Every structure is written in structure tokens, then in C-alpha cells.
Amino acid sequence: MQARTNSRLAAVQALYQMEAGGAGVESVILEFRTHRLGGDIDGRLLHEADEDYFVDLLRGVVRLQAKIDPQIEKRLAKSWTLARLDSTARAILRAAAYELIHRAETPARAIINEYLELANAFLGEDDPRFINAVLDAMARDIRADEFAGDQARRP
């Protein structure tokens, strides 16, 4: 599972880089494959990532961003838009939303927890709570059957 965790981290970094620098998805994938996934930088070993998972996340977010963004925005406070959010928060939310929608084999709670770890590492004190609220609301709507099963198992 560590390889998937590293793929999620790389995807968030790549989405941020694409937004900040305007690079295209294929050039960023090539850069990450060549320089950032596995291998080493200045003698420091980088953790292995599941390259296929990374590529699927990145291409999937880019391909479906027009569908993903409204799913996120409808769970924001009325006065907020995605454009108003920190670019790292946008990258985290987009990658997590893609997984919630297109990775039904992965439990929603596992996806949310992985992205909350990234939010805790990269964002301010209040942002992880906000990200958790948005992702939890999305998961409840997108994966209603999964959450209904969780409720049925509770005493």
C-alpha cells in the first residue's frame, strides 16, 4: 500500500505543478517518471510509487475535471468557489474526488484518510477539517450504499 500512498502524494504534487506552471499532463507524467518516482535525488533514495496508479490519477483528474469540480463546488460554502481555495487544497480535493468516483474497489474511508494525511502535511491547521468535511459529504453522496452498510454494522 505504500506505493499507492506515494502515488497519491506524487499526483497531488503533479496537479499543483501543472496549475502553477501551466505544464501539460503528459510532460508532467514524463518528468515524474524520469526524475521523481523511485530512484534518488542527490543520493537520497525516493520511495517507490505505483506508476500506473499515479498516471491513472493524473490523467483521470485532467480528463474529468469538468465533472469533478462541480462535485466539489456544490459542497463548499455558498460564498466559496474552487478558485478561492489554496492550489494545494484544490489538488488534494480533485485527486480524492476522482478516486471516490472511479475507484469503487477502494473503501471511501481509506481514500479520505490518505488525502487527509496529505492535507495535514501541506496545509494550515483548519484546512484538513475542511477537506474532511468536503470529502465526507462527497463520499456519502457518491457511495451511499457503502455508507449505508457502515451504518447497518454499527450497534
Please determine, looking at this structure, whether the domain spanning 2-146 carries the CATH number 1.10.940.10.
yes
Question: Which pLDDT score is estimated for 109?
Answer: 93
| Cα gap 14→19, rounded to integer Å | 9
Q: Which amino acid is at 55?
A: V
Encode pLDDT of 42-92 as tens digits.
554 456 788 899 999 999 999 999 999 999 999 988 888 888 999 999 999
pTM, 2 dp? 0.85
97 grid coordinates = 474526488
